[in-house]
């Protein structure tokens, strides 16, 4: 039996969070019954009732739900804190809107626990993925991932799907090497992981676009391009994959 932390990074998500927690508790209870799992709400700078909801859920389901809080915003920053403070065998995260189909999550967990992968991640661009999103978002996503492959000579197909899992050992090595604390965190994790020989599992997922997305496309693309330039010209950190979980 392995222990698994499922982190939900949130910023002003008082409307979406209760349903997310309820749906996840039901799914994980059925699909990962052989493991010990916990949902961790990682609140980064919310100014609405998000933190109160997280605290109430943790109080009501203390064995299944926890939370961490940061006053400063940044999805990468929230994941950094939750993952590095975790004592679980596997650390993971998914977006609060649950746009990515949960049926792929056990495959990712089993890839790490049973097959020895260091990193497992959902992919909307891998063969077998089923996605529903606007042509604009589809074009931007494919163009961005082509830029990554061209600049960094990487083999993975989708860097930014909000659906990732790492062994605890991999997280303890990889996360401190990541400099970005925002949206580029995901890309930086995968680029460093692949370039430094971490065993990577890309899992095709089903995905439905959330019309209420908080991603600001122009500023996010600008941040990502700056991050890629930094990795390309300043180099990849010299780290070594862990021998085990």
Query: Which residues are part of the catalytic machinery?
Result: 186
**Beta strands 200-204 and 119-123, pairing class:** parallel
The pair phi, psi for residue 219, each rounded to 5°, is -70, -35
Task: Calculate the alpha carbon distances from 85 to 6, 112, 117, 228, 235 in Å.
Answer: 13, 19, 21, 27, 27
**Helical ranges in 61-134 per DSSP H:** 75-85, 105-113
For 225, the token pair is 């391009």
Q: What kind and span of H or E run contains 234?
A: helix 217-234
Taking CA 173 as the corner, what is the angle to CA 226 and CA 243, rounded to the nearest 5 degrees? 135
Show Cβ contacts of residue 177 under 8 Å, excluding neighbours closer than 6 positions: 192, 237, 239
Show Cβ contacts of residue 100 under 8 Å, excluding neighbours closer than 6 positions: 94, 122, 161, 162, 163, 205, 206, 207
């Amino acid at each position: 039996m392995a222990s698994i932390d499922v982190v939900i990074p949130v910023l002003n998500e008082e409307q979406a969070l209760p349903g997310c927690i309820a749906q996840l508790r039901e799914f994980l209870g059925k699909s990962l019954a052989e493991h010990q799992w916990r949902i961790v709400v990682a609140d980064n700078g919310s100014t609405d009732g998000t933190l109160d909801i997280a605290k109430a859920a943790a109080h009501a389901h203390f064995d299944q739900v926890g939370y961490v809080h940061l006053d400063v915003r940044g999805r990468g920053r929230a994941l950094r804190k939750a993952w590095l403070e975790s004592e679980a065998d596997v650390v993971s995260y998914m977006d609060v809107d649950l746009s990515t189909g949960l049926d792929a999550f056990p495959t990712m967990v089993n890839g790490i626990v049973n097959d020895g992968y260091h990193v497992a991640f959902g992919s909307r661009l891998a063969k077998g993925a089923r996605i529903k999103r606007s042509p604009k978002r589809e074009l931007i996503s494919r163009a961005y991932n082509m830029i990554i492959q061209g600049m960094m000579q990487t083999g993975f197909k989708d860097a930014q799907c909000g659906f990732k899992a790492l062994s605890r050992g991999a997280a303890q090595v990889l996360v401190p090497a990541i400099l970005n604390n925002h949206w580029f965190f995901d890309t930086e994790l995968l680029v460093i992981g692949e370039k430094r020989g971490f065993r990577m599992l890309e899992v095709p997922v089903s995905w439905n676009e959330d019309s209420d997305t908080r991603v600001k496309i122009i500023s996010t693309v600008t941040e990502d391009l700056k991050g890629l330039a930094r990795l390309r010209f300043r180099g990849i950190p010299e780290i070594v994959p862990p021998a085990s979980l």
